[in-house]
Amino acid sequence: MKKSDDKREDKIETEVEELKTEVEDLKNKYLRSLADYQNLERQTQNWREEFVKYAGQNLIVQLLDVIDDLEKARDHLNDPGLKIILDKFLSVLKNSGLEEVAVAGSEFDPNLAEVIEVVPGEEDHKVVEVLRKGYKLNGRVIRPARVKVSKKS
């Protein structure tokens, strides 16, 4: 009976070892799945925040042409009422994350502006005139400025 008991104990020990290995594998799979799920949750949260941050971008891009026209009218008419309305309008858009790209007098940066014309000047690649303002929304360029850039003659 001792041999059969030894065989039985060996079999049980083998089964226990196999079960321990299987439990360890399942634990590792669970931890990997949990980490993947947590990463997915973080990524989804980031996507949501990004979506909310830029949800109005298309509307704001369309309004930029209206801003251009209002600024031209303000400059042409010198109407104080128009200036007040334009300032309020720009303030609302600024509170939504809109900011003007300041490129006048600086080194040309193709990430912020498009060259419309190259003119002779004292320095290379210097923005000498802004033909159309550029804008960023929450730090992202949504409309590059159109500029004239100097080229050393």
Tell me: do 66 and 130 sit in the same domain.
yes
Reported pTM: 0.72
Q: How many residues does the chain have?
A: 153
Q: pLDDT at position 6, please? A: 78
Q: pLDDT at position 20, please? A: 96
- 27: containing domain: 1-55
Tell me: do 103 and 143 sit in the same domain.
yes
Q: How far, in Å, CA of 115 to CA of 130, rounded?
A: 10
Q: Count up the domains in the chain and report the number.
A: 2
State which of 55, 74, 90 marks the end of a domain. 55
Tell me: do 68 and 121 sit in the same domain.
yes
pLDDT by 10s per residue, the chain, length 153: 567 777 888 889 999 999 999 999 999 999 999 999 999 999 999 999 988 888 889 999 999 999 999 999 999 998 899 999 999 999 999 999 999 999 999 999 999 999 999 999 889 999 999 999 999 999 999 999 999 999 987
Span between the terminal Cα atoms of the chain, in Å: 107
Half-sphere exposure of residue 83: CA atoms within 13 angstroms, side-chain side:
6
Q: pLDDT at position 120, please? A: 94
Could you tell me the maximum CA-CA distance found in the chain, to the nearest angstrom? 112
Q: How far, in Å, CA of 119 to CA of 153, rounded?
A: 9
Handedness of CA 120, 123, 125, 129 (dihedral sign): negative
Q: How far, in Å, CA of 122 to CA of 23, rounded?
A: 75
Q: pLDDT at position 2, please? A: 66
Residue 120, classed as helix, strand or coil, is: strand
Q: How far, in Å, CA of 86 to CA of 84, rounded?
A: 6
State which of 34, 55, 76 marks the end of a domain. 55
Tell me: do 132 and 80 sit in the same domain.
yes
